[in-house]
Amino acid sequence: MGVKKLNAFMTKNIKLEHSHWNIDKKEYYQLQNNEYTMDNKNEKNELNLIIDANSFFYYLANQLKWFVFDNISFFKLLKKYLFQLLAINNLEKIFFVFDGMDTDIKKNTNLGRADKRVKSIKKFYNKIVSNKKKNGFLKPEKICATPLLKVAYAQLLFDAKDYLKKLDVRFSLFEADSDIAYLAKKYNGYVISNDSDFYIYDIPGYINIESLIFTFTQKSSKIYYKIYKNTALTEYLGISKEYLPIFATLCDNDYFTLSKYPSLLSQINHYNNRDGDDVKSNKYISVSKFLLEIKENVDKKCSSPDTSVEEKQKLIISELFKFKNKEKNEDLEKLCYTNLVNSVNEYNLTALKYTDIKCINKDILHSYYNGKIYDLLLNVLYNHFYKCTQYFENLNKENCWLITKKLRLELYELLLLRNYQEYKPSHTTTTTTATATATATNKTQSNNNTIPKEYSILEYYTDDNKIAHKEIIIPIDSTKTFPTTLEEKFIKYLDTFHSNIDSIKKLPYYLMVGVANLRFYLIEKIKNNTFAPEGSSNSYIQFYNTYKNNNERNIPDEKNISNTKTTVLHTYEFEALVASCVAALSFSYLHKSIYIKSRKYVKDIPKNLSNFSIENNLKENKMDCSNTFTILTKHYNRSLKLKRSKLPKKIHNDISQFGNSVQIYAEFINVLLGNCQLMQILKLNDAKEEFNSLFTMYHYSWEEAFYSMVDYIKENGGESIFNELFDIKNKDYLNFLEKVYSLMLNTILSLN
């Protein structure tokens, strides 16, 4: 939620207690050596930490360069800090708590931030193309991560908790603040976040995440921090803690904007000391002085020490509205009261301890709480909207989300089909999760099994460097059934990605998914008349003729595509995508250690299968890669390392090519996201453990490798690309990857 500019005020005016935790080096090294037997030694420790997972994500992200971004670097930094936190002396438990669906209020706040994301990406792209440093640390003003990275981050933590006894992961149904505060009170723990609301909640202690300093050296193994107790703010302002939620509300938050109520604003401004050094800081003093005006009356009417916090706050609000000047408009006065009360209830954790979510069935909610489906999709069901989140792309081109426009319609329809199939409205009693806001309870559906004929949502997307939206009408065919068996689900998956052919089903499942993504992307580019196969082999021409738009008479080339905003895909760029996917797989399924241990096994790709069922495929190609956390701890790095990058020089030599490459990669990431969400909807990641890590799609992305491969293939062709671009002594392994690359490319272009 956040109190406007309160973080800056606190930093300037409130002196916080400096402290540190000692890291048990022995325990840390045990974690590093994959020894996860620490079970608190059957003793009760004192320290519990409740971490705002969203804040921690950005804390990590801000320490990394974002051009060229590498998701493995993010994972490694997460692992490093997670292990240091888990090795703190006297630690009992760490909770990571994730945000959930948007409420109406949060939606409006996020849409306001979305415009800033667009501006940040625009500036960042211009910064990259003008940068002349060889290894500059490039980062946008505002981190704009892909939704895929956030899914992989959550999945890594969720997978890790199966091995790390001191780690727990929770998913809030709505904004996580109140759930975090609830856990802090329940376990007498400290909150770690950067959300200024935690200066207001009545919790044991709040640590602003920006104050954390991790030090792990031979001489020192400590985590330094600054801790806040809410008595510090009450003493500074001269008000008691019961007033803090009212104070925070009047200072502006997501629920309440003071400027909307002119009479109240004018009255509070009367207390502003204009002679002060900092007029902005005086805003908080003015609000506290305004509240002190009613303190005497409140104290007279509330003299009993047994009066509850809620009762006292009701009295404070009552006296406030007696004292405040009335708004000229009666409806505005009522709105002022309603919004203030809702905000105060949120801070007190008294609002909506019972949440009635009738528009999402129990099956989907169960998947959500277990990390099997994510909030982007739940917003479609609950809020009737989908956010085409802005991430890094070339905004001089058509938006990267256009490539999955038709795919999203299929996803929405399938999601609705799953939600309405055997419809069972859920009634969720809130304990440690699922705390809603006042507007949330209105998002209910009649308690019957009637399936509508159509469903309307708003899609929010970037258009002409601004956030726009359009209504999407999704027809619902009540005669269709949601696939139930694993085989039915996987056939639906392959059909959706234009990949239900024998040559693809012969591949090991981890290559099959990569091929499906790449094949889908190529076909969509052909259908959109944005693939230019000039000078291509017969395989490309035959493939193009099979999937081209029937209205197209001639094979297009770049000269025939006049729109400069169009992203044209060339064969060398597509082959670079394929090769970069193979290179990315060297972190997991195609890691060198797997190749060495099972050389005979991996050389037999694809196997000569007579049974093409996915069940048989998983059995025949069994791999120990179903858990993202264990992949990271065992492999730690990709097996491949690029030879010295010449990206800055190549960017300046051909900015046009770089701009096109950026957009191709952004479009491909969008296809991967669609694939990830289809697996969530079909419950594939819930049906078999092999899909548990695979659905995150991080296995197929390596941005820097793609850019390097585009330049190489454009100049030299794709032959021997792994031997030429990567620095590794094992030539047999590189030759094996060359074989996989050729196999994937040929299978993509196969027609049967």
pLDDT the model gives residue 194 = 94
Is the pLDDT at 281 greater than 60, yes or no?
no
pLDDT the model gives residue 601 = 52
pLDDT the model gives residue 431 = 40
Is the pLDDT at 109 greater than 80, yes or no?
no
Q: Which residues contact 219 (CB under 8 A, 6 or more apart)?
A: none
pLDDT the model gives residue 110 = 79
* Domain span(s) for CATH 3.40.50.1010 in the chain: 6-234
Distance CA 296, CA 307 (A): 16
Distance CA 475, CA 508 (A): 35
Lowest mean pLDDT among 30-34, 268-272, 296-300, 719-723: 268-272
Please report which confidence band the pLDDT of residue 441 belongs to, taking 50, 70 and 90 as the band edges. Answer: very low
Choose among 390, 385, 374: nearest CA to 666: 390
For residue 282, which phi and psi values (nearest 5 degrees)? -65, -15
Distance CA 281, CA 469 (A): 37
Residue 235, Cβ neighbours under 10 Å: how many? 11
Please report which confidence band the pLDDT of residue 432 belongs to, taking 50, 70 and 90 as the band edges. Answer: very low
Choose among 193, 134, 150, 155: nearest CA to 61: 150
- Report the b/e string of 301-320 with b at 16+ CB within 10 A: ebeeeeeeeeebbebbbebb
pLDDT tens for each residue of 415-424: 999 999 855 4
pLDDT the model gives residue 223 = 97
Angle between helices 71-86 and 25-32 (to 10 degrees): 140
Distance CA 485, CA 513 (A): 19
Is the pLDDT at 171 greater than 90, yes or no?
yes
Q: Are 285 and 274 in contact (CB under 8 A)?
A: no
For residue 354, the cross-strand partners are: 429
Which amino acid is located at 668 in the chain?
Answer: F
Is there a cis peptide before residue 606, judged by omega within 30 degrees of 0? yes
pLDDT the model gives residue 429 = 41
Tokens encoding 750:
């196969």
Q: Are 254 and 439 in contact (CB under 8 A)?
A: no
For residue 425, the cross-strand partners are: 361
Distance CA 433, CA 171 (A): 7
Distance CA 254, CA 106 (A): 7
Supply the pTM of this predicted model.
Answer: 0.91
For residue 366, which phi and psi values (nearest 5 degrees)? -60, -45
Please report which confidence band the pLDDT of residue 445 belongs to, taking 50, 70 and 90 as the band edges. Answer: very low
Is the pLDDT at 599 greater than 90, yes or no?
no
Is the pLDDT at 553 greater than 80, yes or no?
no
The three-state secondary structure class of 646 is coil
Q: Are 469 and 459 in contact (CB under 8 A)?
A: yes
Q: Are 683 and 540 in contact (CB under 8 A)?
A: no
pLDDT the model gives residue 406 = 96
% of the chain surpassing 90 pLDDT = 67
Tokens encoding 145:
């991560």
- Report the b/e string of 568-592 with b at 16+ CB within 10 A: bbbbbbbbbbbbbbbbbbbbbbbbb
Tokens encoding 646:
């010449």
Q: Are 460 and 467 in contact (CB under 8 A)?
A: yes
User: Quick one: CA torsion of 701, 703, 706, 708, rounded to 10 degrees?
Assistant: -150
Is the pLDDT at 477 greater than 50, yes or no?
yes
Instruction: Name the strand (E) or helix (H) holding 193.
Output: strand 190-193
pLDDT tens for each residue of 44-61: 678 999 999 999 999 999
- For the chain, give the number of residues: 752
Count of helices and strands (H, E) across the chain: 33, 15
Tokens encoding 60:
């990590």
The mean predicted confidence, pLDDT, of the chain is: 88
Question: How many Å separate Cα 146 from the centre of its chain?
Answer: 7
Which amino acid is located at 133 in the chain?
Answer: K
The three-state secondary structure class of 744 is helix
Distance CA 596, CA 585 (A): 15
Q: Are 603 and 736 in contact (CB under 8 A)?
A: yes
Q: Are 428 and 365 in contact (CB under 8 A)?
A: yes
Distance CA 431, CA 95 (A): 15
In the DSSP assignment, the letter for residue 701 is -
Q: Are 23 and 91 in contact (CB under 8 A)?
A: no
Question: How many Å separate Cα 458 from the centre of its chain?
Answer: 20
**Strands of 415-465, DSSP E:** 428-429, 454-463
Mean pLDDT of 314-320: 94
Residue with tokens 């994937």: 744
Lowest mean pLDDT among 76-90, 437-451, 625-639: 437-451
Q: Which residues contact 538 (CB under 8 A, 6 or more apart)?
A: none
Distance CA 105, CA 197 (A): 15
Q: What is the per-residue DSSP string for 147-186? A: HHHHHHHHHHHHHHTTT-TTEEEEE-SS-SHHHHHHHHHH
pLDDT tens for each residue of 174-205: 989 999 999 999 999 999 999 999 999 999 99
Distance CA 400, CA 674 (A): 12
Tell the CATH superfamily of the 6-234 domain.
5'-nuclease (3.40.50.1010)
Distance CA 374, CA 147 (A): 10
The alpha-helical segments, DSSP class H, found in 222-372 are 231-237, 244-250, 262-269, 279-292, 295-301, 309-323, 330-348, 362-369
pLDDT tens for each residue of 488-513: 999 999 999 999 999 999 999 999 99
Q: What is the per-residue DSSP string for 528-591? A: TT-EE-TT--HHHHHHHHHHS-TT--S---GGG---TTS-PEEHHHHHHHHHHHHHHGGGTTT-
Mean pLDDT of 462-480: 91
Choose among 142, 180, 100, 600: nearest CA to 364: 100
pLDDT the model gives residue 447 = 44
First-last CA distance in the chain: 53
Instruction: Name the strand (E) or helix (H) holding 84.
Output: helix 71-86
Please report which confidence band the pLDDT of residue 98 belongs to, taking 50, 70 and 90 as the band edges. Answer: very high
Angle between helices 655-682 and 375-382 (to 10 degrees): 70
Instruction: Name the strand (E) or helix (H) holding 10.
Output: helix 6-13
The three-state secondary structure class of 70 is coil
In the DSSP assignment, the letter for residue 626 is S
Angle between helices 147-160 and 71-86 (to 10 degrees): 30
Distance CA 525, CA 506 (A): 25
Is the pLDDT at 354 greater than 50, yes or no?
no
Q: Would you call 16 exposed, middle or buried from its count of C-beta atoms within 10 A (0-12, 13-18, 19+)?
A: middle
